[in-house]
A and B are shown apart, each in its own frame.
Chain A
């Protein structure tokens, strides 16, 4: 039998020599702790396909499978809503592909100094975008960050209700619902929806006021919101929350913050959001990451579930990085800890750090302006197609709601016809939000050229004619 390329000790003579050191000629006795009736005997070898141990064959096999995908470079995609196609600079790809960043597990503050510094540059630069001085290491996703932040607010206020937008992403809402549910009576956080103002597409401030009260731990809102709208009443929302003694948590798209006000400007207490737009490819959703940030005050710091990577010094006065408040994490306190932490999306934090360093303040401003302009140009052109309208033709960032109700055709049929033309239409909202039948959420970013928009509009004219 040949040695397996991944296993240096599978060279037969070497394996035998290792066993011989133990006085054995076979590995079987090493498993003597396991009772015989626990062992899997008859099914060996397991019903797995034969091993493909040669890389040339494995490569053909895997590429053959993956070639069945149609991706967003060969097609024009208008999908967003929680995972977005943005340009990833080649330098970022080079950095995250480095084996040193790809492989570490934990290390020491000295031996993995470089990675820990990159993490600090992630939190520092994200904090600069947000206008917040405390930023945790990332969590799994935006939805998970929102869930954790809502639970932080419930612990801080001692209250058990959260208000969230009725029209938030169903994916994120389902995550938040899980984070707020609890076994046993009286432990859950009640999730109450705030209506959309149909005239503006933004949060209905009257409905918000009506639902606020002394039992509300937090108002959670998004800016830009799921359906793309910039929440220009953000300061009023925060003020209303504070008046009721609730915290204001805002979910933001950090790529918008070169042109949009940071959460600190309108008084938000905790900011959360996705790290994926900052230099991470979509990866079918595998690019997601989430962040939690706040003012640097003990009342918030003491409720973070994340690891908190702090700059500090060595005995010789050199800069180094180490974890703060580790005892309150689940690693330190098990069930007494603040929620839980574990493997997260730390490799992507390094991509995020490099991305923010590349763009700088001017890059974020140019990019934000470009996205706004391209998205609004696209919305206007799409709305020029007979039977198609855009629900709110201004006041959005990179996503907008397209209404196909006047075309007399189903969205399924339209999307299928677009796919035939190499175009992935926006997210079908009818299947996801009540009252949004025949509507789709279109996303336009810097990746869309004017020619791409022309192609979409030409296709829509054909398809909807």
Chain B
């Protein structure tokens, strides 16, 4: 313990901020518009009778209200090592440019002559992602990683339909450690899901894969490395086996940070891959979007890509509407094209060497952390016997801590937040290890940040043995305390709006 840095004193701002809906004073105004009479322009049957129950608040009070709420949001003001999400710096230059009229005040259906700047960003980023993946074409329409998986499901459907095989090829094969969006989007597209279990080495066996493959196989959806930092060294054989069975291979590259510039999806034989611009490519999280799941594929699948796409055309850039065999749209227009601009800016600032260095640092820092975390009493790692360095993440377990102290992962999250640490990621469902947690160091956090994060976890685990109630009753330094644990699945209890809350619970 002695070589850990001292812990900061931290306390979140406490404002006891009311809901905006409670700040209303009749007659106050936050925005004016020129007054005109237009009652005659709405058909009588469609005129609004009762005004909406919105608050009446003046402009400065709206500003201060939301500024206070922002202060009660830790975000990346603290240290966030939220694994699988690759928390990294979002260059503010890009934010500034995206907020300017040359991005913010563009309509997606403008004539291509008037959109050359945005189209050039699309083309330049596509070019960079082609270099990083070996794929032939990219679409930025998918509005998140899950939407990219959904795009693959739609393209899989279209590909097999084009080969007269749609009714037979109805199975998507994936692993129990794939992100839930892979089986979920495939199921939404009408596929049946075949899920492979993990072996003790951290990935499914190729025998299990072979047993799952048949003439009903439509595609494999797989990530590599998985969320435990384990790389499947047989992945080329997997791709060959799936192709031999007539299926497609989709590489969910959510965990790209550890292998950027080291491997390329197309070199490994994959037909398609997905990069998350809001993770790996420096675009902000925004609390959950707007995001981009950049979907890349080989020439084999390019005819099925959603439109529109960008092509270089003499001196400028042209819009391709999408081929006749295109799946159409998974989301309207270009997708979150302002995020494409930011991701291009990130690639431009990093260059090939910067990107390779970022993956070096991510992996080095993860292993640096691993050495120190495993020295903490109560912490173990998944697949303890799997030798070698992990990639950019390691899956740990607080199962031992829980057995010995009764303190679980959620308690530790809450207590760590008392020292300015944003909640760690546990694991996607299903949990194969008890009380999992998955920090990801990435390339943005300094060694001091990492040492501090480790010091806080060491402190909290130590506290769990000394004074478990202190951890179990956390947080103590936030604006509000721990959830009461009301049953939010009960229709009489849940309230997603103020009106529902008032009806069910009074004021």
A63, A232, A369: most-surrounded residue (chain B CB, <10 A): A369
Known: A111-B12, A230-B42. A128 touches B52 (CB 8 A): yes
Which residues from A are CB-within-8-Å of B329? 143, 171, 174-175, 178
Known: A22-B364, A46-B131, A187-B190. A285 touches B111 (CB 8 A): no
Which residues from A are CB-within-8-Å of B493? 310, 312
Which residues from B are CB-within-8-Å of A363? 29-33
Question: Closest approach, in angstroms, between the C-beta of A423 and any C-beta of chain B?
Answer: 11
Complex Cα distance, B139 from A322, in Å, reads 34
Which residues from A are CB-within-8-Å of B131? 43, 46-48
Which residues from A are CB-within-8-Å of B314? none
Interface size for B (C-beta < 8 A) is 219
Q: Does A319 contact B (CB under 8 A)?
A: yes
Which residues from A are CB-within-8-Å of B363? 27, 30-31
Complex Cα distance, B34 from A446, in Å, reads 9
Complex Cα distance, B43 from A223, in Å, reads 12
Q: Does B299 contact A (CB under 8 A)?
A: no
Q: Does B456 contact A (CB under 8 A)?
A: no
Q: Does B49 contact A (CB under 8 A)?
A: yes
A71, A95, A125, A315: most-surrounded residue (chain B CB, <10 A): A71
Which residues from B are CB-within-8-Å of A91? 30, 59, 62-63
Do the beta carbons of B429 and A354 come within 8 Å of each other?
Answer: no
Q: Which of B206-214, B260-268, B400-408, B460-468 lies at the interface?
A: B260-268
Q: Label chain A's interface by main secondary structure.
A: mixed
Do the beta carbons of A113 and B188 come within 8 Å of each other?
Answer: no
Q: Does A408 contact B (CB under 8 A)?
A: no
Which residues from B are CB-within-8-Å of A51? 348-354
Do the beta carbons of A33 and B391 come within 8 Å of each other?
Answer: yes
Scan residues 101-149 of chain B and give those whose CB is less than 8 A from a CB of chain A. 101-111, 113-118, 120-121, 124, 128, 131-132, 143-147
Do the beta carbons of B180 and A330 come within 8 Å of each other?
Answer: yes
Which residues from B are CB-within-8-Å of A199? none
Which residues from B are CB-within-8-Å of A89? 30-31, 59
Closest residue of chain B to A344 (Cβ to Cβ) is B289
- Mark each residue of chain B from 348 to 366: 1 if its CB lies under 8 Å from any CB of chain A, else 0: 1111111111101101110
Closest residue of chain B to A21 (Cβ to Cβ) is B368
Scan residues 299-352 of chain A and give those whose CB is less than 8 A from a CB of chain B. 301, 308-320, 322-325, 327, 330-337, 339-348, 350
Do the beta carbons of B54 and A284 come within 8 Å of each other?
Answer: no
Question: Closest approach, in angstroms, between the C-beta of B59 and any C-beta of chain A?
Answer: 6
Question: Closest approach, in angstroms, between the C-beta of B52 and any C-beta of chain A?
Answer: 5
Q: Does A438 contact B (CB under 8 A)?
A: no
Which residues from B are CB-within-8-Å of A31? 259, 262, 363, 389, 391
Q: Does A288 contact B (CB under 8 A)?
A: yes
- Mark each residue of chain A from 353 to 368: 1 if its CB lies under 8 Å from any CB of chain B, else 0: 1101111111111111
Which residues from A are CB-within-8-Å of B267? 38, 40
Do the beta carbons of A66 and B103 come within 8 Å of each other?
Answer: yes
Known: A133-B503, A365-B51. A335 touches B184 (CB 8 A): yes
Do the beta carbons of B57 and A369 come within 8 Å of each other?
Answer: no
